[in-house]
Amino acid sequence: MGGGVTMFALVAAQELLDAAVLYAPVHSNEWYNYKRWREDSLSDAEKQTLENIYGNLENPLVFKDISPETYFSRIEAPVQMYFGTLDKSCPIEW
């Protein structure tokens, strides 16, 4: 998840980074990451708690404000990104 952490740093604390290289990062939209890695691992009670706080978790807009892609315009450092065409975890489409 280093690529995801780096994307957050790029949009939130640009002064910490002169450049970034991301290798098969997670999606820059947290809704896709939730659907891929978290949704099935949460209990119904955990999902209900999250929905009480944030809203319907099936609505991608719920994740907009916490997604790095929302703030990409803030990035000033150069970014290089690599994906493997056969990567099953983080597909190249991301």
Instruction: Render pLDDT for 12-24 as a digit per residue (tens, 0 to 9).
Output: 998 999 999 999 9
pLDDT category at 81 given cuts 50, 70, 90 is: very high
What 3-state DSSP class applies to 21?
Answer: strand
pLDDT single digits (tens) 30-69: 999 999 999 999 999 999 999 999 999 999 999 999 999 9
Average pLDDT over every residue of 22-29: 93
Q: Say if pTM beats, i.e. exceeds, 0.85.
A: no
**Predicted pLDDT of residue 53:** 94
Contact between 62 and 55 (Cβ < 8 Å):
yes
